[in-house]
C-alpha cells in the first residue's frame, strides 16, 4: 500500500468511527440531572439524583422514548449557586440534553434561569418555592405558597389555635419572599405586628442555642406560639437537636416545616421531635397502590433503608409529564414539548392525577404531617381535592393583579389584568 493509500485508508477508518460515535449519540436521548451531591444541600438533593436515575432506568425498561434509550447526564453544582449556571450551560450546550431536572434552593433556580432562556431548554423544578415567578422554560412541579405555606398557617390557626408566630428561615430568596407573603397574610387575619417574630440564618448555620432560647422566650407570654420554618439543608439537624436540648415539645411550641421531610429526619433522633409538623404534598406514609409500588421500586433500586419524600414525587410527576409530552409532540424539540406539556395529566402518588396548568405550575393535594418516632409522618390534615398552583400571590398588592398563561395568544408569565400589559419574561 502506498503512503497516500495508507493515509486515505486511515482517514476512512477515522470517518467511519466518527460516524459510529455520532450514530450512537443519536440513538440516545440525554436527560440532564442538576442536583448538589456535595456541600450544604447534598443532604436533600442527592436523593433527587438517585430517583431520576431510577425513573430513567424504568423508562428504558419500557422501551425508552421515541424508539431511543434515555441517557442520564449527572453533574454536581456542589451547593455553589453560580456553579449551577455553569453546569446548566454545560448540560445544554455541550451535552445536548433534551431537558434538565434539577435545583433545590430558589437561589440556584434564579441562577440558571437566564441560561435556560438564552439556550431555550427546559427545566423541571421539583421543590416548594416562594412563587412570584412564571418562566416559559421552567415547569414548577413543587408547591407554590398557596399549596403549602398558606394551608399550613390555616391549619395552625384553625386546629392548634396559634396566636403568636415565629417565621424562621435560611437567609435567601425563598424564605424571605415566603415570609413576606405569610406576614401579609397573618396581618390580614388580624395578627398584631408584635406577635410576629422573624429570624434568618445563613446556610449551614450550626449554633442555634441563642435563637432557640429567643423562640422559647417569645412563646412564654401566655399566647399559643408556633414556628413556621423555611430553614433549608443541613442546618435543620442542629436546629431540631437544639429544640430537643431545650425541651421544646410540640405541645408547647409546634414547628411546621416546609423543607424537612423523611430524608432530613433520617439523620436525626426523632424521639424529641414527635408531634412537630411538616406541610407537603406527599408523604411516604400515604396509603395508595401507586405509592406502595413506587416505594417498592425505590427500595429495590437503592436499598431497604432509603426513604421517599415530596420532591421525589415531584420529579416522578415531572418526568412522566415530560415523557408524555415528548410522545405527544413526536420530538424532543423544546418549543414543541413546551407547547405539549400544558394540559398534560399524569398519576401522582397520593391517589389522583396532577395536571400541568397554563402558568407552568401543577395541581397538587396539600397534606399536613406529624412527625412520628420512626421518622415517618402521620397525615393529620389534607385538602379535599387538588389545589392549582398560583404563580402570583393574592396577598401581595403588586402580585395580586398578575396572571400567567403561556398559551397563545397571551404567552405571558406576568400579565397585568389592570393595565392589560405583559411585564416581560415572567419574573
Average pLDDT over residues 3-7: 48
On the question of pLDDT at 168 being above 80, the answer is: yes
Q: Which CATH number fits domain 12-16+20-143+289-365: 3.30.420.340, 3.40.50.1000, 3.40.50.2300, 3.30.2270.10?
A: 3.40.50.2300
Asked whether this chain's domains 12-16+20-143+289-365 and 146-285+368-388 adopt the same fold, the reply is yes
Q: At residue 3, does pLDDT exceed 70?
A: no
More confident residue, 259 or 331: 331
Above 70 in pLDDT, residue 9?
no
Q: Which residues are within 8 A (CB) of 193 and not within 5 positions of it... i.e. 6 or more apart?
A: 187
Q: Which of 44, 127, 27, 9 is nearest to 307 (CA)?
A: 44
Where do we find the cell 410576629? Answer: 196
The residues that bridge with 422 in the sheet, in sequence order, are: 415
- 280 pLDDT exceeds 60? yes
pLDDT band at 272 (very low <50, low <70, confident <90, very high): confident
Residue in the block written with cell 401579609: 184
pLDDT for the residue numbered 304:
95
Q: Is 237 exposed, middle or buried (0-12, 13-18, 19+ CB in 10 A)?
A: middle
Percentage of the chain modeled with pLDDT above 90? 88
Residues near 4 by beta carbon (within 8 Å), at least 6 away in sequence:
none
Cell reading at 185: 397574610
Strand order across the beta sheet in which 412-416 lies: 402-405, 412-416, 421-422
CA distance 283 to 350: 8
Average pLDDT, the chain: 93
pTM of the model: 0.89
CA distance 74 to 76: 7
Residue 326 pLDDT more than 70?
yes
Instruction: Tell me: pLDDT of 235 over 50.
Output: yes
Q: What b/e readout covers 68-86, taking b as 16+ CB neighbours within 10 angstroms?
A: eebbbbebbbebbbebbbe
- Domain range annotation of the chain: 12-16+20-143+289-365, 146-285+368-388
| Structural contact between residues 246 and 212, judged by C-beta atoms closer than 8 angstroms | yes
CA-CA distance, 60 to 67, in Å (whole number)? 10
CATH node for 146-285+368-388: 3.40.50.2300
Which pLDDT score is estimated for 268?
81
Q: Is the pLDDT of residue 296 over 80?
A: yes
pLDDT of residue 271: 87
Q: Has residue 333 got a pLDDT over 80?
A: yes
Tens-digit pLDDT profile for residues 141-157: 999 999 999 999 999 99
Q: Give 21's pLDDT tier (boundaries 50, 70, 90).
A: very low
Phi-psi region of 252 (alpha: psi -120 to 50; beta: other; left: phi over 0): alpha
Question: Considering only CA atoms, which of 149, 188, 157, 365 is closest in space to residue 254?
Answer: 157
More confident: 262 or 267: 262
- Alpha helices per DSSP H over 149-219: 149-155, 173-188, 209-218
Instruction: Name residues whose C-beta falls within 8 Å of residue 219's C-beta, 6 or more positions apart in sequence.
Output: 164, 166, 225, 252, 253
Determine how many CB atoms are found less than 10 A away from the CB of residue 63: 10
pLDDT of residue 216: 96
Helix 42-61 / helix 310-329 crossing angle, nearest 10 deg: 40
pLDDT value for 269: 85
* β-pair type (363-364, 353-355): unpaired
Lowest mean pLDDT among 163-172, 265-274, 292-301: 265-274
Q: How do 387-388 and 367-371 pair as beta strands? A: unpaired
Mean pLDDT of 204-226: 96
- Asked if residue 133 lies in contact with residue 426, where contact means CB atoms within 8 angstroms, the answer is yes
Residues 6+ positions from 300 with CB-CB distance below 8 Å: none
Name the more confident of 263 and 424.
Answer: 263
Mean pLDDT, rounded, for 220-246? 93
What DSSP string runs through 326-388? HHHHTS--HHHHHHHHTT-EEE-SSSSEEEB-TTSBBEE--EEEEE-TTS-EEEEEE-SS-EE
Model confidence at 87, pLDDT cuts 50, 70, 90, reads: very high
Q: What are 363-396's pLDDT values in tens digits?
A: 999 999 999 999 999 999 999 999 999 999 999 9
Tell me, what's the pLDDT at 267? 76
- Residue 17 or 347, more confident: 347
| Residues 264 and 236 sit within 8 Å (Cβ to Cβ) | yes
How much is the average pLDDT of 15-27?
48
What is the mean pLDDT of the segment spanning 121-130?
Answer: 96
Q: From 315, 271, 268, select the one nearest 294 (Cα to Cα).
A: 315
The torsion angles phi and psi of 12, rounded to 5 degrees, stand at -65, -40
Which pLDDT band holds residue 427 (cuts at 50, 70, 90)?
A: low
* Cα–Cα distance, 47 to 36 (Å, whole number): 10
Amino acid at each position: 500500500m502506498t503512503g497516500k493509500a495508507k493515509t486515505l485508508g486511515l482517514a476512512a477508518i477515522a470517518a467511519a468511527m466518527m460516524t459510529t460515535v455520532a450514530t450512537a449519540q443519536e440513538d440516545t436521548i440525554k436527560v440532564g440531572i442538576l442536583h448538589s451531591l456535595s456541600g450544604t444541600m447534598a443532604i436533600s438533593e442527592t436523593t433527587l439524583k438517585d430517583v431520576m436515575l431510577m425513573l430513567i432506568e424504568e423508562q428504558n425498561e419500557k422501551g425508552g422514548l421515541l424508539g431511543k434509550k434515555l441517557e442520564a447526564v449527572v453533574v454536581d453544582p456542589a451547593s455553589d449557586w453560580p456553579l449551577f449556571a455553569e453546569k446548566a450551560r454545560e448540560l445544554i450546550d455541550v451535552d445536548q440534553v433534551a431537558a434538565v431536572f434539577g435545583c433545590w434552593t430558589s437561589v440556584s433556580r434564579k441562577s440558571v434561569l437566564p441560561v435556560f432562556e438564552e439556550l431555550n431548554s427546559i427545566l423541571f423544578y421539583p421543590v416548594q418555592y416562594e412563587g412570584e415567578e412564571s418562566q416559559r422554560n421552567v415547569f414548577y412541579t413543587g408547591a407554590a405558597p398557596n399549596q403549602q405555606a398558606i394551608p399550613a398557617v390555616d391549619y395552625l390557626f384553625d386546629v392548634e389555635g396559634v396566636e403568636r408566630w415565629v417565621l424562621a428561615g435560611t437567609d435567601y430568596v425563598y424564605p424571605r419572599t415566603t415570609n413576606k407573603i405569610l406576614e401579609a397574610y397573618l396581618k390580614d387575619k388580624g395578627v398584631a405586628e408584635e406577635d410576629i417574630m422573624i429570624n434568618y440564618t445563613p446556610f449551614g448555620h450550626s449554633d442555634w442555642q441563642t435563637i432557640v432560647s429567643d423562640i422559647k422566650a417569645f412563646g412564654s407570654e401566655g399566647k399559643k406560639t408556633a414556628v413556621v420554618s423555611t430553614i433549608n439543608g443541613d442546618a435543620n439537624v442542629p436546629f431540631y437537636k437544639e429544640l430537643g436540648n431545650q425541651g421544646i415539645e410540640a405541645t408547647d411550641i409546634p414547628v411546621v416545616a416546609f423543607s424537612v421531610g423523611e430524608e432530613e429526619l433520617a439523620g436525626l433522633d426523632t424521639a424529641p421531635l414527635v408531634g412537630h409538623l411538616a406541610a407537603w404534598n406527599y408523604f411516604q406514609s400515604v396509603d395508595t397502590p401507586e405509592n406502595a409500588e413506587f416505594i417498592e421500586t425505590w427500595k429495590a433500586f437503592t436499598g431497604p433503608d432509603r426513604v421517599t419524600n415530596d420532591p421525589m414525587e415531584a420529579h416522578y410527576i415531572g418526568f412522566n409529564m415530560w415523557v408524555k409530552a415528548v410522545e405527544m409532540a413526536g420530538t424532543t424539540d423544546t418549543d414543541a414539548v413546551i407547547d405539549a406539556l400544558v394540559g398534560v395529566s399524569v398519576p401522582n402518588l397520593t391517589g389522583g392525577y396532577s395536571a400541568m396548568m397554563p402558568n407552568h405550575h401543577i395541581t397538587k393535594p396539600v397534606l399536613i404531617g406529624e412527625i412520628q418516632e420512626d421518622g415517618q409522618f402521620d397525615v393529620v390534615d389534607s385538602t379535599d381535592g387538588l389545589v392549582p398552583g398560583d404563580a402570583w400571590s393574592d396577598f401581595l398588592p403588586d402580585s395580586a393583579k398578575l396572571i400567567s398563561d403561556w398559551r397563545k395568544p397571551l404567552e405571558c408569565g406576568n400579565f397585568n389584568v389592570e393595565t392589560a400589559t405583559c411585564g416581560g419574561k415572567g419574573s
